[in-house]
Amino acid sequence: MPPVSTYLCSLAMVFFITICLVLAAVRWFHMCRPYDRNPRYYYPARPYLTIIFASSLIMLPYALHPESGDAWFLVRVYFLPVTLFYFAILLLAYFGGIMEWKRWRLPTIAVGAPVGMLLIGAFILAVIPGEQLVGTVITKAAELLLYSAGMLLTGVCISATVLVHRWARTLDLDDYSNLADFPEVEARRWSWMILVNLSLSWLAVLSDSRPAMAVIQVMIGINTVIFLMTVLHPHRNRPVEEPEAEEEKQQEELLYQRAVPAKKRAEILEAVRTIVEEHSAYLDPHLTLQDVSDRSGYSRTYICGLLKAEYGGFFIYVNRLRLQHVDVWLEQHPGCTVQEAAEASGFVSRQAYYKVRANLPKE
């Protein structure tokens, strides 16, 4: 390989490792307040992300000797089965932490054990002087092992993605006041990131090209930075109740309306109005039904049923207040832009404001 290409491949790997180490430090040391008081709950994937980013150090042999065939095999192992294993761990740690899944750890670790052994073996070969794989009879066996592990972990990764999407669809949008906080939206965002990196990892390994791998390393590094920026704030990791079937929810709401006296309904509604309207809780872009329940002391189910009967639901109720606030804000601040008014009224962005205004049912 020409000296210039060798230098560029080494530089790309150094760039990737540096990015990963910086992200490992940011993920471990940076936590938003007051969520840092309970990092285990609000940041369930934090230790996994830190370990994953820091593990990039294992590819230092390639950064030092990109012309080595053994170091090249190590990089291919890292960017295929190991990366896919990491994706599955992240999905299950983050969303499994929200839903308090316990059974994912043992089977996932069991699948990851042979991948870890493959990585350790590749690392040992890379640090031993000389070429251990090139021109030997074990080359084909190593390649077969690499692709077999890659196929296995691709299946695990896709299965984890499907599992998360199935769970997200069972949740009620009306638990949230912001579309971006709805777990199905977040699950979709994670899935796209994983599918992009999965495709890039397979492309890098199948191409068997060091320059191609260098380009893909830079792309994955940038994609990872963007991903971490979207999960630094833990507002999407809110406590939620176990999902219920739609028919069960409807029956529960009917029972609620029959069982709760009118006086009690008025009391609950007044408590909710006090929190959401008088205390301006609707200005919190990430306000959830669970937040209102915690602050009022009333059951989330009761509040949900009451708001659906009175206003059409929690999402509609909160966002109508935000729309009214935008109109008032623009009147009181003539020089203000729509984006400034929207963000001051509880919307996460101007786009979110326009989307809600266009789709929210009329009173």
Which residue ranges make up each domain of the chain?
Answer: 3-236, 246-359
Per residue in 56-84, pLDDT (tens digit) is: 999 999 998 888 888 898 999 898 888 88
Per residue in 15-30, pLDDT (tens digit) is: 999 999 998 998 888 8
Query: 347 — phi, psi (to 5°)?
Result: -90, 145
Please say if the pLDDT value at position 213 is more than 50.
Answer: yes
Q: pTM for this one?
A: 0.66
Across residues 40-64, what is the average pLDDT? Answer: 85
Whether the CB-CB separation of 161 and 94 falls below 8 Å is answered with no
Per residue in 227-237, pLDDT (tens digit) is: 777 666 665 44
Half-sphere exposure of 296 (CA within 13 A, CB side): 26
Min mean pLDDT across 5-9, 39-43, 345-349 is at 39-43
- Distance separating alpha carbons of residues 270 and 279, to the nearest angstrom: 12
Q: What integer pLDDT is reported at residue 308 of this predicted model?
A: 85
Tokens 């659906």 belong to 308
Per residue in 93-102, pLDDT (tens digit) is: 777 666 666 6
Please say if the pLDDT value at position 169 is more than 80.
Answer: no
Q: What residues contact residue 204 under an 8 Å CB cut-off, 6+ apart?
A: 76, 79, 80, 212, 213, 216, 217
Mean per-residue pLDDT of the chain: 80
Higher pLDDT, 318 or 31: 318
Higher pLDDT, 51 or 258: 51
Q: What integer pLDDT is reported at residue 323 of this predicted model?
A: 93
- Distance separating alpha carbons of residues 341 and 101, to the nearest angstrom: 40
Instruction: Tell me how many helices (H) and strands (E) the chain has.
Output: 17, 0
- Distance separating alpha carbons of residues 186 and 273, to the nearest angstrom: 29
- Closest among 110, 1, 79 to 10, alpha carbons compared: 1
Name the residue type at position 70.
D
Tokens 């990039």 belong to 56
pLDDT tier at 225, thresholds 50, 70, 90: confident
Looking at CATH, the fold of the domain delimited by 3-236 is given as Rhopdopsin 7-helix transmembrane proteins (1.20.1070)
DSSP string computed for 298-338? S-HHHHHHHHHHHHS-HHHHHHHHHHHHHHHHHHH-TT--H
Whether the CB-CB separation of 127 and 61 falls below 8 Å is answered with yes
Q: First and final CA of the chain: distance in angstroms?
A: 69
Across residues 306-320, what is the average pLDDT? Answer: 88
- Distance separating alpha carbons of residues 85 and 115, to the nearest angstrom: 8
